[in-house]
Structure 1
Amino acid sequence: MPQLDFTLPHWAYWLGLIVFPIIAATLARRPKPKERRYFLALGYFILVTGGILGLHRLYLKSLIGLLYIPVFICILFANSQGHDARSVVSDMSNLVRQAERTLERETERVASAEKELPAMRQKLTEAEDGSFAKRRAERDVKRAEQRIEQGTSRIQEAEASLETARPAEEKALDDLRFWNNVGKYAFWLLLAGVLIDAVLLPGLVRKSNRNLPPDPELSEAEKKLKAIEDAERKDDASHVSTGWTGWIDRLSLMCGEFVSYWAVIAVIVYYFEVMSRYVFGSPTNWAHEAMYLMFGMQYLIAGSYAMLTEAHVRVDIFYAPLSRRRKAVVDLLTSVFFFIFAGTLLVTSWVFAFDAIAVPSGNALVSDWARGEIGFVEMLGNWNLSQWSDPNIRWGEISFNEWEVPLWPMKWVMVLGGLLLVLQGISKFAQDIRALMGRA
Structure 2
Amino acid sequence: MVMTEVWERRLRTATAWLDLPGRWVGKAAAWLIVPLIGALVYEVVARYGFNNPTMWAYDITYMLYGAMFMLGAAYTLGRDAHVRADFLFNVLSPRTQGLIDGAFTVLLFFPAMLFFTIATYDYAATSWMRGERIVTSPMMPIIYPLKTVMPVTGVLLMIQGVSELLKNIYAVLTNRRFREAS
Structure 1 length normalisation: TM-score? 0.36
Counterpart selection for 2:114 from 332, 343, 347: 343
Measure, in 2, the Cα distance between the counterparts of 1:284 and 1:247. 44
Measure, in 1, the Cα distance between the counterparts of 2:22 and 2:121. 20
Alignment of 1:12-411 (within 5 A): 242-335=12-105, 336-359=107-130, 396-400=131-135, 401-411=137-147
Listed one character per residue, the Cα deviations across residues 335-358 of structure 1 (whole Å, up to 9, x for unaligned) are 111122212221111011111022
User: Shift of the alpha carbon at 1:422?
Assistant: 0.9
Counterpart selection for 1:422 from 131, 142, 158: 158
Identity %: 27
Rg larger in structure: 1
The runs of 5 or more residues in structure 1 that have no matched partner are: 1-240, 360-395
Measure, in 2, the Cα distance between the counterparts of 1:280 and 1:316. 49
- Runs (4+) of structure 1 exceeding 3 A deviation are none
Structure 2 counterpart SS, 1:317: helix
Q: Contact 2:36/2:60 (CA < 8 Å) preserved in 1?
A: no
Q: Contact 2:134/2:143 (CA < 8 Å) preserved in 1?
A: yes
Measure, in 1, the Cα distance between the counterparts of 2:33 and 2:138. 24
Q: Contact 2:56/2:139 (CA < 8 Å) preserved in 1?
A: yes
User: Shift of the alpha carbon at 1:300?
Assistant: 1.0
Q: Contact 2:67/2:146 (CA < 8 Å) preserved in 1?
A: yes
Q: Contact 2:98/2:172 (CA < 8 Å) preserved in 1?
A: yes
User: Shift of the alpha carbon at 1:301?
Assistant: 0.8
Q: Contact 2:29/2:71 (CA < 8 Å) preserved in 1?
A: yes
User: Shift of the alpha carbon at 1:323?
Assistant: 2.3
Count, aligned residues = 164
Measure, in 2, the Cα distance between the counterparts of 1:409 and 1:263. 17
Q: How well do the aligned residues superpose, as a CA RMSD in angstroms?
A: 1.7
The runs of 5 or more residues in structure 2 that have no matched partner are: 1-10
Larger RCO (CA within 8 A; separation ≥ 6):
2
Matched, 1:413 2:118: no
Listed one character per residue, the Cα deviations across residues 194-245 of structure 1 (whole Å, up to 9, x for unaligned) are xxxxxxxxxxxxxxxxxxxxxxxxxxxxxxxxxxxxxxxxxxxxxxx72222
Q: Contact 2:98/2:168 (CA < 8 Å) preserved in 1?
A: yes
Structure 2 counterpart SS, 1:247: helix
Measure, in 1, the Cα distance between the counterparts of 2:83 and 2:62. 23
User: Hey, what does 2:5 align to over in structure 1?
Assistant: none
Structure 2 length normalisation: TM-score? 0.83
